[in-house]
Structure 1
Amino acid sequence: MPLLSYSRSYSPTAADVGHVIRVECKATKRVGGGVLTKTVDTGLVLPFPPMPPRRQMLANVNEERLTPRLRQIGVFRVLTYNILAEIYATRQMYPYCPIWALSWSFRRELLKRELQSYNADIICLQEVQGDHYKSFFAPMMEEWGYEGWYLKKSRESMGLEGKVDGCALFYKRNRFILKERYPVDFNELANDFLKQVQTEYDLDYQGPSMAAREMFLSTLNKMRQRLQRDNVAQITVLEVVPANNEMVARKSQSGPLICVANVHIFSNPKFPDVKMWQTNMLAKQLERVTLNRNLPTILCGDFNSEPSSAVYEFMTRNHVPLDHPDIQHPPPQLANIYASLDLEHNIGFASAYASVFGAEPEYTNYTGAISRIGCDYRRSLTEALLLVIRSLDRCGGLRMVHTGDADSVRRAEGTPT
């Protein structure tokens, strides 16, 4: 049996395909000098699966619509990606996928290759596991010339430290300077919102009966349980570094500012009202940061929503009617509280995909859990990683990566990572 390596780790090569690898570990006793040996044989080394075809970059560029301000900002590339945290990559969720392909040690190398291939100036990731951010993403991105920050979900870790996911935002340090960052915790916003509702109730109904107040507080508690889903978002204000003489520019002048937000909206399809509430709260936070300064704003994320949803209508049309089915979804006793929401914003978002392609893509995510694939954006079809842009959408200078054809995805039983 040929010796392959003396190292503590070994990555199989093409020459190993079809062979079994024996791992041998030897420990020398401190007393007596004896040697203990333990060996483990692997299964047959499998050939590396074929890589998916490279996705085409399509452009919608109109030089005449490029304003002086947008020319000053320049061209940059943004990537948004739900990378699927290890804690969710289980056989129960993906029974059609072999266990080796779900393992983090395998997927992280594919993610590394893909992230590097896009060479984005700004990267927004969702479902980044806390321990993986520290041990993998942060050092890797720093080595590649990025800076960034991480915001984990509000809930506790799943068993071990770091076993909780969150959002991560990175930017190239030779292109941008961090000016401001705002963590958005939807659990905290839910508490603030319900405190305001209770205050207004106490003002409107002076001295209510004990029974009426207990019923109202019970409703608030149900509302809190419904709204608090541990999701988070990141809002970041970046200064664009002028292209000419980077170091001098940093000291002598300020570049234009842009706002980049990254969010992961609650995924459960049985709670469309919660998705809408979180999106509405995020829009309110973005308004506070951007409107007074008229900042060009890029919003990246996994919205877990379909084009027919209240979330999509709210983001792309600036408002959503209270009679939308998604908003009527909560239990009847909670409907009055939802009716008090101001479901509109003044940011003026547009979908980047629709701006380039003229329509939303046929899918943005596909899993083999449900075989049907079409244009109705069911969960098997999409989780709507939707990138929407304000101000920049009117420049006529967007380029987007094509999602590929549905037949290829169906044959693969899922979108590859």
Structure 2
Amino acid sequence: MNQKNKIAHLRKCEYTKTCELRFDMLIRANGTEEIMGIKSQVKSTDTVSSLIAEISNRVNEAIGPNSSNPIDAVLKVNGKTVNNTTVLMDFVKNVTTNSLTVTLSIFQHEYSVLINFPCVKQMRLPSVIYVGYPTQLVKLTFFNASKKTSKFIWYKSLEQQKWVKVGEGYEYVPTVNDGNHFLKVICVPFSEFKVKGSPFEVISEHKVIELTEFPRCPFEVRHQYTKQKLKKNELRIVTYNILADKYVDNIRYSYCSPQALGIHYRKQLILKEVKGYNADIICMQEVDELHFKSFFKEKMQELGYKAVFHRKGNNLPEGLACFFDSLRFKLLSFKQVVLRCEVERRKQFSEIAHLLNQNQALKHEFMKQNTSLQVIVLRNNDSNNIVIVGNTHLFYHPDANHIRLLQMFMETKFLYSMKARYLRENPKSNVVVLFCGDFNSDPDKSLYPAIINGTIDPMHPNCLQISESGGARIYHKFFFQSACGTPKYTNFTPTYKGCLDYIFVEKNSVTVKQVVPVPDENELNRYEGLPNDYYPSDHVPLIADLVIAPKLKKFTN
């Protein structure tokens, strides 16, 4: 077996408490040759012999299912074989501290082993790149390096043969001269101590194109219902999952033209759509942090909106955004509740924490999710009403109805406590709660009736997944109705078509004046799915005009 690349990387990861060794190997099997990446990972408290055994297993897997021969792999320091009983974490520390030379011998070939060198783990360009629009990497992860410390060089080519340098820096704005060219970016990773790693390059899937004029879109028919802004004790609310760019790929949306999938096309279409709704409050889900900061925040501000944004789970590059008319409303407060972080921290969630602690499998699944509740509290300048807006995006998995029930239980508890607080502090104001978002649940599943009815039978199959004894008492104290009912479709893709999005309002204090009809079935069935050239997301927004009733005389805390 010939080996072209004789560099291996050994890394000790503090977060996972593991040691990982990676190298490329030329595999020859069934008359063909292929360079394959070999990754071996063991606990940092394991010995060198464990790593050697793992290398043997991974190489045999790469060679083929019929290969099970022991692989002769040896680690050496300054030419001397390392004792197999040496603990890996001690080995890495000793080599790093004393600047020793490490090699890996395998199949009579020798690799230079680089210890904790900076490297790029993954990198990807947007699927569509437009002339005149800033282009950044949509996926970029490092080991022992960062975007700030690393170097980026951009090139262009007509046929991916001769490459011409066009720029440097993390962001590049293609010019007219770059049109009809492929782009390539090379990242040279550097650690904070200026240690240089191996360059990593990626080439665009498609050539750079110019953004064409937008077509007349079917959603413009909906604008006929929202020509005027509302006043006084009325308000128009929108909820819209706008499809984060990180979830867009050419395989999932293969029916869709590359231009229509591009974020710069879609974000302009989203702006055009929501602008025509003349809404007072707009709740968005799956908002890319990058495009919120560089586009939506500024463009919506030009239309008279202020905005609040939270990263999903505080750690994903997409999240929840709420825009509100700055002339009609004053922002009193805002907060994000990351469910997994707060469930054991706040006394008000003790019932939920108890259920989780009684079922470790359930707790493990619940605590993995980044699900968040975004809350903004607004005072209406026209009527002195206080509006508490909850914006959420519940766990997506189709078999996780029980998880969504717990998430709803937790979120409604928090919203109810917020209402009680603001009623105490503002006894002369009417305080209403609007609960919006992508709930990832059909109306015929357990979540919707639980929200509408305020409770669910503890013996319901989904509750029995939480507590086998039927002890999962899940409820809330609101009297909710779905402002837009249960449309047949709010999400329309080739693999799923149904209603997942809702605007829940308190029926004892809010009257629904108008619901803007969603596109009808015949209209949506003209397309294989959303998004496409006419619809910028795989969801359609819900829009409702609401009237806030006079203040209630009594509120039960």
Compute the TM-score of the two structures, normalised by the length of structure 2: 0.53
Q: Aligned residue for 1:148? A: 307
**2-structure distance, mates of 1:47, 1:147:** 28
1:38 is displaced (CA, Å) by: 7.2
Are 2:457 and 1:327 equivalent residues in the alignment? Answer: no
- The match for 2:260 among 59, 84, 101 is 101
Letter matched to residue 264 of structure 1? H
Letter matched to residue 245 of structure 2? E
Contact persistence 1:145–1:173 (CA under 8 A)? yes
Q: Deviations over 1:113-159 (max 9, x none)?
A: 111111211110000111111111111222221112111112644xx
Q: Aligned residue for 1:347? A: 478
Structure 1 segment 15-414 matched on structure 2, within 5 A:
40-41=179-180, 49-56=215-222, 74-154=233-313, 156-157=315-316, 164-192=317-345, 196=350, 219-220=359-360, 223-242=363-382, 255-291=384-420, 293=423, 295-328=431-464, 330=465, 335-336=467-468, 339-354=470-485, 360-369=486-495, 380-391=496-507, 394-395=510-511, 397-414=512-529
Contact persistence 1:191–1:224 (CA under 8 A)? no
Measured at CA, do residues 407 and 127 of structure 1 come closer, stay the same or move farther in structure 2, by a change above 3 Å? same
Letter matched to residue 41 of structure 1? N
Measured at CA, do residues 236 and 48 of structure 1 come closer, stay the same or move farther in structure 2, by a change above 3 Å? closer
- Secondary structure of the corresponding residue to residue 321 of structure 2: strand
**1-structure distance, mates of 2:450, 2:353:** 27
Percent identity, please. Answer: 26
**2-structure distance, mates of 1:218, 1:341:** 11
Q: Deviations over 1:319-358 (max 9, x none)?
A: 1112223333x3xxx5349x4443111111101113xxxx
Contact persistence 2:488–2:499 (CA under 8 A)? no
Contact persistence 1:365–1:382 (CA under 8 A)? yes
Letter matched to residue 127 of structure 1? E
Letter matched to residue 337 of structure 2? V
Moved more, 137-146 or 267-276: 137-146
**2-structure distance, mates of 1:133, 1:99:** 22
Measured at CA, do residues 176 and 277 of structure 1 come closer, stay the same or move farther in structure 2, by a change above 3 Å? same
Measured at CA, do residues 234 and 89 of structure 1 come closer, stay the same or move farther in structure 2, by a change above 3 Å? same
**2-structure distance, mates of 1:346, 1:311:** 15
1:227 is displaced (CA, Å) by: 4.1
Moved more, 120-129 or 188-197: 188-197
Letter matched to residue 132 of structure 2? S
Letter matched to residue 299 of structure 2? M
Measured at CA, do residues 297 and 303 of structure 1 come closer, stay the same or move farther in structure 2, by a change above 3 Å? same
**2-structure distance, mates of 1:287, 1:106:** 39
**1-structure distance, mates of 2:351, 2:178:** 64
- Secondary structure of the corresponding residue to residue 77 of structure 1: strand
Contact persistence 1:368–1:414 (CA under 8 A)? yes
Letter matched to residue 348 of structure 1? F
Measured at CA, do residues 151 and 197 of structure 1 come closer, stay the same or move farther in structure 2, by a change above 3 Å? same
Measured at CA, do residues 272 and 222 of structure 1 come closer, stay the same or move farther in structure 2, by a change above 3 Å? closer
Q: Deviations over 1:32-66 (max 9, x none)?
A: xxxxx97653678777555225344799xxxxxxx
**1-structure distance, mates of 2:458, 2:354:** 20
**1-structure distance, mates of 2:166, 2:353:** 68
**2-structure distance, mates of 1:193, 1:241:** 33
- Secondary structure of the corresponding residue to residue 440 of structure 2: coil
Measured at CA, do residues 100 and 58 of structure 1 come closer, stay the same or move farther in structure 2, by a change above 3 Å? closer
Measured at CA, do residues 152 and 392 of structure 1 come closer, stay the same or move farther in structure 2, by a change above 3 Å? farther
Contact persistence 2:313–2:372 (CA under 8 A)? yes
**1-structure distance, mates of 2:315, 2:503:** 29
Answer 1 or 2: which has greater helix percent: 1
In the alignment, structure 1 segments of 5+ residues that lack a partner are 1-7, 11-21, 29-36, 60-70, 158-163, 202-215, 244-254, 355-359, 370-379
C-alpha RMSD of the superposition: 3.5
Measured at CA, do residues 308 and 222 of structure 1 come closer, stay the same or move farther in structure 2, by a change above 3 Å? closer
Answer 1 or 2: which has greater strand percent: 2
Contact persistence 1:126–1:302 (CA under 8 A)? yes
**2-structure distance, mates of 1:263, 1:199:** 20
Measured at CA, do residues 198 and 174 of structure 1 come closer, stay the same or move farther in structure 2, by a change above 3 Å? closer
Contact persistence 1:178–1:237 (CA under 8 A)? yes
Compute the TM-score of the two structures, normalised by the length of structure 1: 0.69
Greater RCO, CA 8 A, separation 6+:
1
**2-structure distance, mates of 1:297, 1:75:** 14
Q: How many residues align?
A: 327
**2-structure distance, mates of 1:39, 1:83:** 29
1:307 is displaced (CA, Å) by: 0.8
Contact persistence 2:352–2:410 (CA under 8 A)? no
Contact persistence 2:242–2:284 (CA under 8 A)? yes
**2-structure distance, mates of 1:302, 1:391:** 20
**1-structure distance, mates of 2:467, 2:460:** 12
Contact persistence 1:55–1:401 (CA under 8 A)? no
